[in-house]
């Protein structure tokens, strides 16, 4: 088995509750299964264990982490442990007072999602009128002297406004801008046909982003995350399975990546039953795709196998039903045809329909309890 | 941001922290969404980026403790750290005069 180093980061998905309804959300589609969230004490214990395990970066995310009334308390505890604290938020309820309280408790950095540069479109994509409140929250974060990241998920409906989006991030005073093309998981996979951009849109966006990165180099770091369906080689997903980061879901499930629960036979462990250390080093789920021994051809003999790690296990599972298959995005995969077919289907779908026609995610509070729907 | 010179007074940017990590037995640089494990030289330089010491002074301090410290190398290293936006240069115009004058006089 591969040598396992301590994890660098923990993504704590405190809750999947969220006031937004973005169609590209990568949260699980079966949100109702995550209604029973860890308590304050249980999360605090997870953070303590994580720091002892070697975690340095804690990403407080969701859903909307501000939906947890104990967020300030959790920040205080995690800061006391020496963790670097990133808040990943939609920021609708991040008032001046809320931001100040979190900063005083030890928050290090805030990442605010923005849906578009045009307020009408932004509110339509989010399914809620929140754009102005996000901009106000960004101002509060900057006045507190905290570093700010603006995070924008790109898709067919907003890619053509990428220049305006970059201008907006600059006006917000963002120190970092993440321009992340949609990755198709969870609700995003359900909406793939309406979210998928054209190659022309992507080519233009990439040029605009590259020029802006150069122009704004001393002011704002721009991270551009490519659309992997349109690429010929897969993304180095998570820098390899179980290599640097772990995710804890609202209900305590521990996963090698935030969407790994889609792999039906993964059988993730839970912090309520095992220690984080045991799960990181010894669990079947974390060891399953570590290293390269598990790889089939064409990965096994590929010179790129230590560079892209065979791509994304979840994408392989979602598209082929086999989590160990080469990521079908790869031009060498025997299943690349599945990706090409998805691209063709999206191209045939014509211009992007209005967001009102997208399958929008709903909050787990509004869903029936797990076990009463579906299976 | 102005280029870094021997007279610049570098400091870690807001949101950037250099800490000792007991798990790995080394100093690590923490910043928004990332971790850097600096080599010993870089860590020693970063530890002295307090916004008060000039680059020339940082080089001189390092030369007292280590053999073979070249001011040009220190400057180049700081240039790379600034390019990656881990450090920034304190603009002398905005130094708080009341708090800063005496110290600058004695520190110079």
Q: What is the ipTM of this complex?
A: 0.89
Note whether A187 and A29 are within 8 A (CB). yes
- Residues of B in Cβ contact (< 8 Å) with A87: none
pTM for this entry: 0.91
- pLDDT tens figures, B34-58: 999 999 999 999 999 999 999 999 9
pLDDT at A363: 60
- Residues of A in Cβ contact (< 8 Å) with B3: none
pLDDT at B92: 58
pLDDT at B99: 43
Residue A307 has pLDDT above 90, yes or no: yes
Segment A300-322 shows an average pLDDT of: 96
* Nearest residue on chain B to A178, alpha-carbon basis: B33
Residue A31 has pLDDT above 70, yes or no: yes
Selected residue of B19, B23, B25 to mutate for chain A interface (largest A Cβ count, 10 A): B23
Selected residue of B13, B15, B25, B80 to mutate for chain A interface (largest A Cβ count, 10 A): B15
- pLDDT tens figures, A113-131: 999 999 999 999 999 999 9
pLDDT at B60: 94
User: Nearest-CA distance from B58 to chain A in Å?
Assistant: 23
Angle between helices A96-105 and A71-80 (to 10 degrees): 30
Tokens 């300030």 found at? A72
Could you give the C-alpha distances from A323 to A240, A315, A375, B28, B53, in angstroms and in order?
14, 8, 22, 34, 54
pLDDT at A346: 84
- Residues of B in Cβ contact (< 8 Å) with A217: 83
User: Taking the CB of residue A118, how many other CB atoms lie within 10 A of it?
Assistant: 16
pLDDT at B95: 46
**Residue A142 and residue A139: Cα distance in Å, rounded?**
5
Partner residue opposite B19 with nearest CB, options A9, A59, A82? A82
Beta carbons of B14 and A146 less than 8 Å apart: yes
Selected residue of A4, A6, A57, A103 to mutate for chain B interface (largest B Cβ count, 10 A): A57
Query: Which H or E element spans position B105?
Result: helix B97-107
User: Nearest-CA distance from B63 to chain A in Å?
Assistant: 30
- Residues of A in Cβ contact (< 8 Å) with B24: 6, 54
Residue A211 has pLDDT above 60, yes or no: yes
Percentage, residues of chain A above pLDDT 90: 89
Beta carbons of A108 and B15 less than 8 Å apart: yes
């Amino acid at each position: 088995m591969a040598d396992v180093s301590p994890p660098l980061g923990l993504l704590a998905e405190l809750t999947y509750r969220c006031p937004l309804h973005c169609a590209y959300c990568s949260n699980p589609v079966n949100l109702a299964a995550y209604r029973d969230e860890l308590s304050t004490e249980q999360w605090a214990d997870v953070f303590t264990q994580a720091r002892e395990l070697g975690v340095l970066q804690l990403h407080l995310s969701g859903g909307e982490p501000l939906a947890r009334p104990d967020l300030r308390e959790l920040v205080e505890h995690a800061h006391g442990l020496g963790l670097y604290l990133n808040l990943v938020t939609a920021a609708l309820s991040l008032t001046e007072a809320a931001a100040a309280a979190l900063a005083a408790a030890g928050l290090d950095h805030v990442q605010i999602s923005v849906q578009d540069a045009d307020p009408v479109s932004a509110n339509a994509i989010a399914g809620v009128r929140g754009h102005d409140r996000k901009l106000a929250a960004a101002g509060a974060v900057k006045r507190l002297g905290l570093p700010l990241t603006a995070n924008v998920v790109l898709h067919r409906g907003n890619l053509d406004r990428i220049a305006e989006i970059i201008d907006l991030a600059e006006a917000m005073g963002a120190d970092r801008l993440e321009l992340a093309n949609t990755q198709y998981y969870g609700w995003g996979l359900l909406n793939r046909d309406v979210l998928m951009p054209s190659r022309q849109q992507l080519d233009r966006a990439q040029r605009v982003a590259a020029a802006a990165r150069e122009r704004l180099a001393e002011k704002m770091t721009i991270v551009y995350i490519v659309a992997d369906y349109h690429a010929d080689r897969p993304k180095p997903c998570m820098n390899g399975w179980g290599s640097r980061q772990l995710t804890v879901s609202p209900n305590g499930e521990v996963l090698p990546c935030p969407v790994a629960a889609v792999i039906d036979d993964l059988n993730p462990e839970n912090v309520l039953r095992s220690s984080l250390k045991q799960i990181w080093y010894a669990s079947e789920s974390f060891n399953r795709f570590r290293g390269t021994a598990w790889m089939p051809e064409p990965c096994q003999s590929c010179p790129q196998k230590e560079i892209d790690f065979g791509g994304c296990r979840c994408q392989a599972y979602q598209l082929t039903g086999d989590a160990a298959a080469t990521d079908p995005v790869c031009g060498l995969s025997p299943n690349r045809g599945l990706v090409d077919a998805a691209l063709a289907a999206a191209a045939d779908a014509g211009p992007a329909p209005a967001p009102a026609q997208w399958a929008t995610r709903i909050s787990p509070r509004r869903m029936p309890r797990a076990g009463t729907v579906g299976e | 941001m102005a280029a870094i010179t021997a007279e610049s007074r570098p400091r870690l940017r807001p949101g950037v922290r250099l800490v000792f990590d007991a798990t790995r037995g080394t100093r690590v640089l923490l910043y928004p969404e990332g971790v850097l494990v600096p080599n010993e030289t870089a860590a020693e330089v970063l530890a002295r980026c307090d916004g008060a010491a000039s680059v020339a002074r940082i080089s001189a301090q390092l030369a007292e403790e280590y053999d073979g410290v070249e001011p040009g190398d220190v400057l180049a290293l700081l240039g790379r750290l600034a390019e990656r936006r881990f450090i920034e240069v304190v603009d002398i115009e905005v130094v708080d005069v009341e708090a800063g004058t005496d110290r600058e006089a004695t520190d110079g």
